[in-house]
Amino acid sequence: MSRHVSTLQSREANAAAKVRECRGALGWAERTDKEQRASHQGGDHTWLLRLLILIAILAEAVTAYVAMEALVASQSLAVGLAMLAALTGVGMACLFANRRLSRLPVATPARIIEGIFVAVLTVLRYESLRIQGADFLTSVGAAMLAALISALALLGIEEVVVETRTFAIFLGELRLSWQQYRYAAAERNLARLQARIKAAAGKLQQHFLDFLLKTEGLPVEQALQRAAEFRAAVTDGKT
């Protein structure tokens, strides 16, 4: 029983060291997360909302493909030009968002260029639909609808970038959650070991007390005192 207590105490020392290590890692993660949040100038919405940008890029590419489909010689070229147009629009939206995050105004000429970009694609969509045999009203309606989708996609990308946290902050949150979990798990493990040591020490004290009373024949008070001293010596690592 004494060796068992000693083994548990050794494991307790290792568990306590693990708790200190996890506490230090948790403190570092908390400081890093706090610093990143303090330096962030955008909104406080989760970074996961930026996954919506993929949908906006797809919408931009599809509407751009409509503009290119009947105007170029091959479908692969139409797809390539559509993707290029979509990435151009996304790039502009991200540049504008970056200026806003830097507390800089978006220049009026830049907004005009963005409007020209949408307008050119709208005209190309109209011409493409006309070439494919659509009537005037259908071509105009479809082109205007595609223009609305394109404009909303660009504005949506810009607002999502501005109003969400960065990927670094998102990773910092994941790291902080992981360190909190590790620290809590280490503390639970330490508490379990301490409870086992307490229970084992109690059994050891009771066995020693029985020995003193039955074998040594000591008075109860003296036996209790010596059993308590023996327990303290064992649990404190004394001889």
Quick: pLDDT tens for 36-63.
888 888 888 888 888 888 888 888 888 8
| Cα–Cα distance for residue pair 53/12, rounded to 1 Å | 50
- Enter the tokens of residue 45: 């919405």
Which three-class secondary structure state does DSSP give residue 45? Answer: strand
Angle between helices 75-101 and 108-131 (to 10 degrees): 160
pLDDT mean over 73-96: 87
68: Cβ contacts below 8 Å, ≥ 6 apart: 77, 78, 81, 82, 85, 124, 128
**pLDDT of 13:** 85
- Enter the tokens of residue 40: 């962030």
**pLDDT of 235:** 67
Burial class (CB in 10 A: 0-12, 13-18, 19+), 75: exposed
Please indicate whether residue 143 or residue 231 has the higher confidence score (pLDDT).
143
**pLDDT of 239:** 35
**pLDDT of 223:** 72
Reported pTM: 0.67
Cβ atoms of residues 206 and 223 within 8 Å: no
Rounded alpha-carbon distances, angstroms, from residue 57 to 1, 185, 186: 69, 42, 45
Nearest to 167 by CA among 70, 75, 76, 51: 51
Q: Picking from 37-46, 107-116, 151-160, which range would have the lowest pLDDT averaged per residue?
A: 37-46
**pLDDT of 65:** 84
pLDDT mean over 90-117: 88
